[in-house]
Structure 1
Amino acid sequence: MHLALVTDAWYPQVNGVVRTLDTVTGLLRQDGHDITILSHEGFRTVPLPTYPEIRIALLPYRRLSRLLDEAAPQAIHIATEGPVGFAAWRYCRRRGYPFTTAYHTRFPEYVAARLPLTLAPTYRMVRGFHSSAVRTMVATPTLRSELQDRGFGNLVEWGRGVDVDLFRPRPQAERDFLGLKRPIWLYVGRVAVEKNIRAFLDLDLEGSKLVVGGGPQLEQLRRDYPDACFVGPKYGEDLARHYAAGDVFVFPSLTDTFGLVMLEALASGVPVAAFPVTGPLDVIADAPIGRLDRDLGAAARAALGIPAEACRAFALQRSWRRSADQFFSALAPFR
């Protein structure tokens, strides 16, 4: 099959959405499928307001339509609700082509965290975007139920996986490369307001707090929390080493639809502490690999000492192969 994947989230962005799309399309290519990825690359772009590290395409419809006509795909998947995604939505609607979408991020909550807007009008817009799709893919059963309650339809589950070869436990000597006092309480991800990182940094915990990642809040949080260790964004083997250095992975987000970083931490042998919200409820639930509590500090302290072997065994059951198969089966070919 020739698939056109349309996404506003792509390299050089580094986040769970990009890693998911890159990994899944890589596996589909190994299966012999042809994938055309259409992102903001090749378009005039402007910095995203309040998040200048991310650039968004400016008026992409005409060029995107030409690119899709030239590609002549057999199926179209629209991954995001940004300018490129909306251009593809308009293209499919005008030509009568079926398409699929995915609900990767809580766009209404992210907008509300940055602008004085209520959730209702943004949810109406997002619901209208996805309602035209043959299927909208969601990461977890909890998110599916939540979106159904908000009037979304045609929802199917598309799970996530983890690279267990890259993310793995390390010997203690390797884990101590940072020289930080233990226990090390770890956060990995975008350093942005919607990630609720202050809830982690405000916790009264013995040891060291380690923040791995970049984003618009990085310099402000460095100033506000001088006792925490901020190492910026890391990639590949270096990122995996930082995961394995942690004793507990603290996931403070209240808005993530999944939280791929939790699986990466578990594969590294690091238990998870989080709030009992969408994402952690599905990834962790009541499995003996972490703790969920409305008191994040209590969850973190309770997670300390959970065996690395249990975390690793759980992650080994979450394969990207299964994720890629789910994604492919949900597509809507029209040629």
Structure 2
Amino acid sequence: MRHLPDPARILIVTDAWHKQVNGVVRTLSMLAEQLEALGQTVMVIGPDRFRTLPCPSYPEIRLALCPRRRLAALVAEFAPDALHIATEGPLGIAAARLARRAGWQFTTAYHTRFPDYLAARIALPRRLAYAWLRRFHGQGSGTMVATRSLAAELQARGFGNTRLWSRGVDAALFHPGRAGPLPYERPIFLSVGRLAVEKNLTAFLDLDLPGTRLVVGGGPERARLERRHSGPRTRFLGALHGAELAAIFASADAFVFPSRTDTFGLVLLEALAAGTPVAAFPVAGPRDVIGAAAEPVGVLDDDLHKAALGALAIDRRACRRFAEQFSWQACASLFLDHLVPIRSPVLAPA
């Protein structure tokens, strides 16, 4: 920690929090747990503390409604030593405004390729979205990013002061020992994630693969995808959690990750920790996570069919060995290194 007291009072403001199920929520949940294990005091302020409304086109996501006054009161009561703004939604915007008015320093994170998602959903030009994001993140003292290629990409788009902050995996939960028999024809190709247009699931579901395709997750595209693809060789299992999810990861023959827009892809590490090799496109995210592995742990190819079949030949023990290099404790320690002190009296409630 740079000039922070130890232990420190760390405030994380995020628009992505329980009951949402996604990589950002998993990252922040594990981060808070590990920071507290390191002796820090952590408060996460998410939409669950506010009146909310559903996100347009994605009702499963709830957005805080007019959060400024309550947010100011919560912040004043907690009296943080460091502020981290994890997302660019209503809470993130309100927190940045509070910080500006109080003269605080803070850090941000770039978890999600919103310009790509907005382009896919409402045809908003990417240049407009990136211009707004540059302004938002430029207010802070550093923007944490998950991979080197994402840092390079953002720097090329005019983002300054990016800080590399990798991820971890729960190697005790996601473990090859959880594998068991499944009542489906093999080989079993698995995909886990949010069923939304930006996840590019049709690239997986349209593949003519042997055996069975399993899809785990929920989201706004689930009903449409099930109507089009569900059948004896394609099964939609809904959202799974904990040991049940870990068992599916460990029992599959290959994990297929069709997204071209994820900034990291925590599910890649979860699959590998379970001993299941990965098939993905050679794009940022998969390329950063597994592209530099000393032993093959997956296949990256623009031909996803070829990648999926090729993954079946990967040594599952190599997958597990690779994933064991990633820990949430290391992730939390690196996060602490990137934090900056607020350097200002805590703002009184507005």
Q: Does 1:284 align with 2:294?
A: no
Give unmatched runs, 5+ long, in structure 2: 1-7, 344-350
In the alignment, what sits opposite 1:137? 144
Q: Which amino acid aligns with 1:214?
A: G
Are 1:160 and 2:170 an aligned pair?
no
Match of 2:327 in 1: 319
TM-score normalised according to structure 2 size: 0.93
Is 1:112 matched up with 2:108? Answer: no
TM-aligned CA deviation for residue 66 of structure 1: 1.7
SS for the counterpart of 1:105 is coil
Determine the C-alpha separation between the residues in 1 that align with 2:145 and 2:318. 27
Matching of residue 207 in structure 1 with residue 214 in structure 2:
no
2:177 is paired with a residue whose SS is coil
Distance in 2 of aligned mates of 1:95 and 1:11:
29
In the TM superposition, residue 301 of structure 1 has moved relative to its aligned partner by: 1.0
| Shift of residue 31, structure 1, vs aligned partner | 1.6
In structure 1, list runs of 5 or more residues that go unmatched. none
Q: Which residue, out of 173, 177, 180, partners 1:175?
A: 180
Q: Superposition pairs for residues 42-81 of structure 1, below 5 Å? A: 42-81=49-88
Contact 2:230 2:236 in 1 (8 A): no
Give the whole-Å Cα distance in 1 for the aligned partners of 2:310 and 2:33: 38
Q: Is residue 2:339 matched to residue 1:331?
A: yes
Do 2:299 and 2:308's aligned partners in 1 also have CA atoms closer than 8 Å? yes
Question: Could you tell me which residue of structure 2 aligns to residue 255 of structure 1?
Answer: 261
**CA-CA distance at 1:286 after TM superposition:** 4.6
- Residue-by-residue CA offset, 1:75-99 (whole Å, 9 max, x unaligned): 1000000000000011001111000
1:286 and 1:104 map into 2 onto residues whose CA distance is 21
Structure 2 residue corresponding to 1:8, chosen from 12, 15, 33: 15
Deviation, 1:245, is: 1.6
Structure with the larger RCO, 1 or 2 (CA within 8 Å, 6+ apart): 2
- Answer yes or no: is the 8 Å Cα contact 2:85–2:107 preserved in 1: yes
Query: Which amino acid in 2 is paired with 1:296?
Result: L
SS of corresponding position for 1:333 = coil
Aligned residue type for 2:34: L
Q: 1:266: which partner in 2?
A: 272
Q: 3-state SS of the aligned residue for 1:230? A: strand
Distance, in Å, in 1 between the alignment partners of 2:46 and 2:230 is 37
1:88-103 aligned within 5 A: 88-103=95-110
Alpha-carbon deviation of 1:237? 0.4
SS at match of 2:49: coil
1:230 to 231, 236, 260: 236
> In the alignment, what sits opposite 2:5?
none
Residue 303 of structure 1 corresponds to 311
**d(CA) in 1 for partners of 2:123 and 2:320?**
42
Partner Cα distance (2:192, 2:48) in 1: 26
Q: Deviations over 1:193-219 (max 9, x none)?
A: 110000000011111000011111111
Query: Which residue identity is paired with 1:40?
Result: P
Q: What is the Cα deviation at residue 59 of structure 1?
A: 1.3
Post-superposition offset of 1:170:
3.2
**For structure 1, which segment, 77-86 or 302-311, has the greater mean C-alpha deviation from structure 2 after superposition?**
302-311
Q: Which 4+ runs in 1 deviate beyond 4 A?
A: none
- The 1-side partners of 2:122 and 2:214 are apart by 29
How many residues get paired?
Answer: 332
CA distance in 1, matches of 2:60, 2:314: 36
Tell me how large the CA RMSD over aligned residues is.
Answer: 1.0
1:334 positional shift:
2.4
Worse-superposed segment, 30-39 or 228-237:
30-39
SS in structure 1 of the partner of residue 262 of structure 2: coil
Quote the sequence identity (%): 55
Equivalent residue letter for 2:310: A
Q: Secondary structure of 1:109's match? A: helix
